[in-house]
């Protein structure tokens, strides 16, 4: 439907609300509306409706607590009332909430609890958190390289644990996209896929670190392709924020060449085949990121 813009006074522009929408939601004179900018679009809803993003969750023996909470969290839900026929395991609940930024238990009894989002998030948070996801992956790559050279097992385990922070920021990014959208709406599908691929990158770096923490020594033939893979990740990060077509072309050639070398290496009798497998998996995710960054 279309609406004509009217002008009131010297500078105020006004547009009428559709009567069918007004009746459906019970909007009346004096009510407040929540207005959100999404690129060239405006999203309008009653303020009372925006504040009521609450759901009830009935727990049974077949309910997956993690799956249910993660789904409600990423959908943008602000409050969850949980009830159960059995005693709630508050310790297990708090453990799951530790991965959900902003969620806290506000009230609880033996068989029920109320979870609310106490963080004051906004659409403006998204870009900073996305950059943080990239930086965590880069940090894992750089630190693990140094620690693998010295076979610092404790250090490698510490770097592996950074993957948990990635999980937390991944869920938060998806929540922000679902709740507020993005200033360029057509980029939302690409960004959603990008976030999940960055999570996969951190997963593989975690596995590499845990594997490295079991080794007495990592030889140079393994570390050299690892250094090249890390450099490719750094280039992806740079091109996401400042795309260069000529660099993108050379990047693709380097990634394919390194992948071919590793596939040949894994067929040899010598070498750390598990480490090589992780590197091939890492480059496969880089290929997905390459497509999203270069062609979306």
Contact 285, 235 (CB under 8 A): no
Give residue 39's pLDDT.
Answer: 66
Give residue 163's pLDDT.
Answer: 97
Could you report the per-residue pLDDT of 133-165, keeping only the tens digit for each? Answer: 999 999 999 999 999 999 999 999 999 999 999
Please say whether the dihedral angle defined by the alpha carbons of residues 109, 114, 118 and 121, taken in this order, is positive or negative.
positive
Domains along the sequence of the chain with CATH: 51-117 (3.30.110), 125-295 (1.20.58.220)
pLDDT at 271 over 90: no
pLDDT at 290 over 90: yes
Could you report the per-residue pLDDT of 194-234, keeping only the tens digit for each? Answer: 999 999 999 999 999 999 999 999 999 999 999 999 999 99
More confident residue, 158 or 89: 158
Report the C-alpha gap between 111 and 60 in whole angstroms: 11
Q: What is the mean pLDDT of residues 22-30?
A: 81
Could you report the per-residue pLDDT of 168-197, keeping only the tens digit for each? Answer: 999 999 999 988 888 888 899 999 999 999
Work out the pLDDT band at 50, boundaries 50, 70, 90: low
pLDDT at 52 over 70: no
- Pairing state of beta strands 54-59 and 79-84? parallel
Contact 240, 127 (CB under 8 A): no
Q: How many residues does the chain have?
A: 296
Give residue 69's pLDDT.
Answer: 93
């Amino acid at each position: 439907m279309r609406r004509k813009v009217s002008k009131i006074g010297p500078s105020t522009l006004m547009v009428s609300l559709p009567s069918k929408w007004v009746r459906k939601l019970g909007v009346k004179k004096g009510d407040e509306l929540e207005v959100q900018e999404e690129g060239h679009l405006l999203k309008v809803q009653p303020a009372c409706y925006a504040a009521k993003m609450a759901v009830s969750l009935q727990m049974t023996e077949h309910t997956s607590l993690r799956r249910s909470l993660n789904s409600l969290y990423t959908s943008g839900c602000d409050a969850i009332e949980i009830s159960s026929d059995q005693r709630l395991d508050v310790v297990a609940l708090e453990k799951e909430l530790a991965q959900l930024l902003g969620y806290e238990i506000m009230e609880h009894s033996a068989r029920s609890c109320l979870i609310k989002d106490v963080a004051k998030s906004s659409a403006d948070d998204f870009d900073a958190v996305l950059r943080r996801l990239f930086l965590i992956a880069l940090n894992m790559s750089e630190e693990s390289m140094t620690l693998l050279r010295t076979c610092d097992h404790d250090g490698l385990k510490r770097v592996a644990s950074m993957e948990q922070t990635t999980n937390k920021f991944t869920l938060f990014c998806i929540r922000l996209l679902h709740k507020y959208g993005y200033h360029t709406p057509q980029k939302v599908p690409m960004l959603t896929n990008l976030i999940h691929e960055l999570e996969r990158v951190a997963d593989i770096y975690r596995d590499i670190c845990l594997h490295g923490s079991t080794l007495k020594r990592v030889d140079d033939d393994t570390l050299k392709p690892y250094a090249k893979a890390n450099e490719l990740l750094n280039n992806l990060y740079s091109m996401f924020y400042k795309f260069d077509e000529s660099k993108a072309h050379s990047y693709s050639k380097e990634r394919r060449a390194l992948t071919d070398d590793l596939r040949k290496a894994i067929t040899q009798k010598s070498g750390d085949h598990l480490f090589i497998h992780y590197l091939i998996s890492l480059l496969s995710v880089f290929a997905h990121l390459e497509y999203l960054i270069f062609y979306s």
